[in-house]
Chains A and B, each alone.
Chain A
């Protein structure tokens, strides 16, 4: 499809395991974002890529979280030693280069629901 694609849609894992979540952005969108949404809250910023590089990773909660975008398209969010508090919906979004003309107008995927038991 033409939209942002995220896999898996659901992931159940055990505490301490490693998890990878994948995001395939809209073709031609150079900006890519990861957000996390916990139950009853709005999305929370994690990291922003412009091309291949992480322009801002200030939202990553700790060093167990890491994201890559090696070819400037698909991105993978990696979570090591998962904890129950990591349970949330992880949203990926993409956009044209972040600039004033398109500020904040992000195109979101359906999210990956992570449950850590």
Chain B
């Protein structure tokens, strides 16, 4: 029973264009969502997060949008750069267990020159 789903295993985007990565969740108790980025042979690194009391959080080229009614969040990267090529994981947590992240399977983003 996957509580966090990333339905696109991979995504290819032209350099300079917008990359949009999607994530769906089933547990309405989740109240905090995060995106992590992972390069090969490295551990995941934190990218950006959003609390369920917000619907948008922006940090430079990265923006996360949260639609609670649809149980959907997305990560927008504008403009996409070659260094953004990596696997992106969506993760969620909830108040009573905020140290235990529930992760999606990841989306491999490929930025084409």
Q: For the complex, what is the distance from the CA of A95 to the CA of B98, rounded to whole Å?
A: 12
Q: Which residues of A contact B91 (CB under 8 A)?
A: 42, 104
CB of A33 within 8 A of CB of B42, answer no
Select the residue from B45, B93, B99, B100 with max chain A CB neighbours within 10 A: B99
Q: Contact string, A54-86, partner B, CB cutoff 8 A, digits 1/0?
A: 011001000000000000000000000000000
Looking at chain B, what size class is its interface with the partner chain?
20 to 34
SS of B interface (majority) = strand
* Chain B min CB distance to A43 (Å): 5
CB of B101 within 8 A of CB of A104, answer yes
Q: Which of B43, B49, B99, B104 contacts A110 (CB 8 A)?
A: B43
Known pairs A103-B93, A104-B32; A45 contacts B45 (CB<8 A): no
B-to-A contact residues, CB < 8 Å: 4, 32, 34, 41-46, 49, 89, 91, 93, 97-106
15 A–B pairs (Cβ distance < 8 Å), ordered by A: A41-B106, A43-B44, A43-B103, A44-B103, A45-B102, A48-B99, A91-B43, A98-B99, A104-B32, A104-B49, A104-B99, A105-B46, A108-B43, A108-B44, A110-B42
